[in-house]
Structure 1
Amino acid sequence: MKFNLMSLGDLVTDPVTGVRSTNARRYKMFPEMAALAESAGFNGINMGEHHGIEYIYSAPPVVLGAIAERTTTLRLGTAVTLLANLDALRIAEDYATVDVLSDGRVDVVHGRGNFFASTYTLFGQSLDESAARFKENAELVDKLWTGDPVHWSGRFRASINGEALQPAPIQRARDCMWIGGGSSLESVELAARLGWKLMLPSAFGDPSFFVKVVDHYLATWEQCGHDWQPEIGAGWHVWVGSDSQSARAQWEPRYRAYHAWMNELLGVVNPSIPKQNQRPFNFEWLTTKGPAIVGSPDEVVDRISRLSEQLKVTTHLAYMDMGGMPEKELFSAIELFGSKVIPQLADA
């Protein structure tokens, strides 16, 4: 079992202290958090990408390149790369560069991003084209990532006439390419067909919703006849403390603030929020039946174990820096997770 830290870069005022970080500090803190994660025993980090909103991370390859120079073993991932919105050749170039700089440590989690409809408007694209754009770009990235000359023509970008990806990446696509999603079986089938890994999202819905998604992915994978094993990851909202009571008391106001902030944001960027994500804030439900994992180290271990079994997850992304959590408290929780949670599950 592997554990990564994840951040989407939400810029939220801490409801406890009233302190609000700055845009610049949030960016500078992320490489510090990544270096701490490596020393604490995490396998990797995953960085979100959004545009024009207060999820402020917009250029992950730039930041991941900086982190590559400060770390030696940490996997450098995304959460997610907006494959349907961006040019597939530039995506391949950017992340191949990170792969080379890091000696083969990049992980690219590709998402359609159609949950944030405003991004399509910002890029002058139609949301109705999202599935077609995503499929075309995924197939093109897969071809480019071989490093061989590519002859290709498609619907949404100019033809490629024998050019090869520069730089040539170190890893194979099967080792570092993921599709992030779960609401669309088309995306799940695409992941299985390409032989890419599947990353389930860190949404506010019921994790049991994804059981049928995982089953479909694995069944499709088997039909495709790949000679390597599939891998499933998932993102969770996570907090750990020395004991259950203090962990919940410390995290609840931040999680509540994040939930309210995100729901307000989604009302602006998404005119039709999926039903599984339309839930009022219920801390008890979220932390026992939902996507939130909070408590003492032993409680966190128990919940992760059960979710791993339910969804066949072997890579867990822990989103811990949400809701304006102060850096001192955040870094202490990361160290506690590394010393008390990971050792119990790393070889499970």
Structure 2
Amino acid sequence: MKSHLLTFGDHLPDPVTGTSTTVAERHAAIIESAVAAEAAGFDGFNVGEHHAGPFVSVSPPVLLAAVAARTSTLRLGTGVTLLANSDPLRVAEDFAVLDLVSGGRAEMCVGRGNLFAKTYEIFGQSLDDSRQLFEENVELLLRLWTEESVTWSGLSRPPLRDVTLQPRPIQVPHPPLAIGGGGSAETAHLAARLGLPLVLPSGFSAPDRFVPVVETYKEAFRSVEGSQPRIGACWHVNVAPTSQQARERWRPRFTAYHDWFGSLVQSQTPGFTSAPLDFEWTITHGSAVAGSPAEVTERLLYLSETLDIDTNLIYVDSGGAPLPEVLDMIDLLGHEVLPKLA
């Protein structure tokens, strides 16, 4: 089983101390956490992409290139690239360059991001077109990486005629690509049809709600030759030497993060509702994990077995968590949790 450190790049004040960081300090903290993740034995580092909100991760390839300069073994990926909102030609170019400057370590997880309707608005798109935009762009991205000359027309961008991607990525046939999502059978079918991994999103509800999507994905994959279904998932995690320490320090931060995230989505996507957080239920039955290294290990193993996961994306720096605390958690995960997940 692989373990990646994940950040969504939210830029919030610490609700416990009231301390805020500058955007530059938040970027620097993300890079330092990646360096620490490599030293701790993580397999990869993933950066989310968000727009129109208090996030510093609007350009994951730029942040990942900075991480590439400070690391040598980490796989460098996204979680997710908002491919429905992006020009797939530019995305293909950006990640080809990242693959080159990192020595062949680039990865990508792509998603629709349709929870944030405002993103479609600011890019001059309609949320109603999100599925068509996404599926067209995934297939075009793969063609640009693998074909010498591409002629194409569709909804997302002006037509292409005999276009050859330059530069070409190092990895052949292309950098690893995964489909992010879990809310619909259509996403599972798309990932299976293209022979790509499926990465389940983070959230606050019971993880077993993804079981039907996972089963749909694995069943659809039975007709795909030459590869096996692979499943990843994202978890909010807080680990400390004791369970009491982890729960007490995380409760105010995770509660504030949950409330902020729900308000943010509600403000951008009409009709979205967010239930009040039940902290104890969420960390024992939901998609969050908090406790001692032994408790975190046990919970991650259970979740991995429940959803047949081979890659865990672990998110520890949400909601204004101070960098020293984040670095301590990365070190503790590396020494006492990751070896038992391998």
Measured against the shorter chain, the TM-score band is over 0.9
Take 1:173 and 1:106, find their aligned partners in 2: how far apart are those partners? 13
CA contact (8 A) 1:147 1:169 kept: no
Q: Which residue of 1 aligns with 2:308?
A: 312
The partner residue of 1:279 within 270, 275, 279 is 275
Give the Å deviation of 1:343: 0.9
Structure 1 residue runs of 4+, over 3 Å off? 172-175
Distance apart, 1:69 and its partner CA: 1.1
Question: Hey, what does 1:245 align to over in structure 2?
Answer: 244
SS in 1 for 2:336: helix
> CA–CA distance in 2 between the matches of 1:156 and 1:264?
30
Paired residue for 2:152? 152
SS in 1 for 2:255: helix
Question: 1:173: how far off?
Answer: 5.7
- 2:279 aligned with 1:295, yes or no? no
Q: Cα distance, 1:206 vs. partner?
A: 1.4
Residue equivalent to 1:117: 117
Q: How does 1:68-83 map to 2 (within 5 A)?
A: 68-83=68-83
**Matched position secondary structure for 1:84:** helix
- Counterpart Cα distance in 1 of 2:316 and 2:127: 30
Matches within 5 A, 1:59-208: 59-172=59-172, 176-208=176-208
Residue by residue, what CA displacement relative to the aligned partner does 1:302-340 show, whole Å, maximum 9, x if unpaired? 001110111011100111001111111111111000000
Q: Which moved more, 1:57-66 or 1:158-167?
A: 158-167
TM-score (norm 1): 0.96
Letter in 2 for 1:93: E
User: SS in structure 2 opposite 1:72?
Assistant: coil
How far apart are the structure 1 equivalents of 2:174 and 2:339? 27
Distance between the aligned counterparts of 1:67 and 1:147, measured in 2?
Answer: 29
Distance 2:102 2:252 in 1: 38
Structure 1 residues 54 and 173, CA gap change in structure 2 (3 angstroms): farther
Q: Deviations over 1:80-120 (max 9, x none)?
A: 10100000111111011101111111111101011000000
Secondary structure of the residue that 2:210 maps to in structure 1?
A: helix
Q: Residue 24 of structure 2 aligns to a residue in which SS?
A: helix
Aligned to 1:258: 257
Total equivalences in the alignment = 342
Counterparts of 1:194 and 1:272, CA distance in 2 = 32
Note the C-alpha offset of 1:151.
2.0
Aligned partners of 2:215 and 2:104: how far apart in 1? 30
Partner of 1:39: 39
Provide the secondary structure at the position in 1 that maps to 2:222. helix
| % identical aligned pairs | 49
SS at match of 1:145: helix
Q: Distance in 2 between matches of 1:309 and 1:173?
A: 30
Contact 1:65–1:101 under 8 Å retained in 2: yes
**Counterpart contact for 1:44–1:75, Cα < 8 Å:** yes
How far apart are the structure 2 equivalents of 1:15 and 1:208? Answer: 30
Q: 1:184, CA displacement in angstroms? A: 2.1
Give the unaligned 5+ runs of structure 1.
none
Cα distance, 1:299 vs. partner? 0.5
Say if 1:80 and 1:111, in contact at 8 Å, map to a contact too: yes
Deviations 1:169-188 (A, max 9, x none): 12246761011001122122
Choose which of 311, 324, 340 in structure 2 pairs with 1:328. Answer: 324
* 1:197-224 deviation line (CA, Å, top 9, x unaligned): 110001112111100101111111112x
CA contact (8 A) 1:142 1:173 kept: no
Preserved CA contact (<8 Å) 2:146 2:174: no
Q: Partner residue of 1:220?
A: 220
- Quote how far apart the aligned CAs of 1:66 are: 1.2
Q: Which residues of structure 2 form unaligned runs of 5+?
A: none
Q: Contact conserved, 1:149 with 1:162, CA < 8 A, in 2?
A: yes
Q: Is the 8 A contact 1:147 1:166 kept in 2?
A: no
CA offsets, 1:9-55, max 9 Å, x none? 11122121111122111111111110110000001111011112112
Amino acid at match of 2:96: A
Give TM-score, length-normalised by structure 2: 0.97
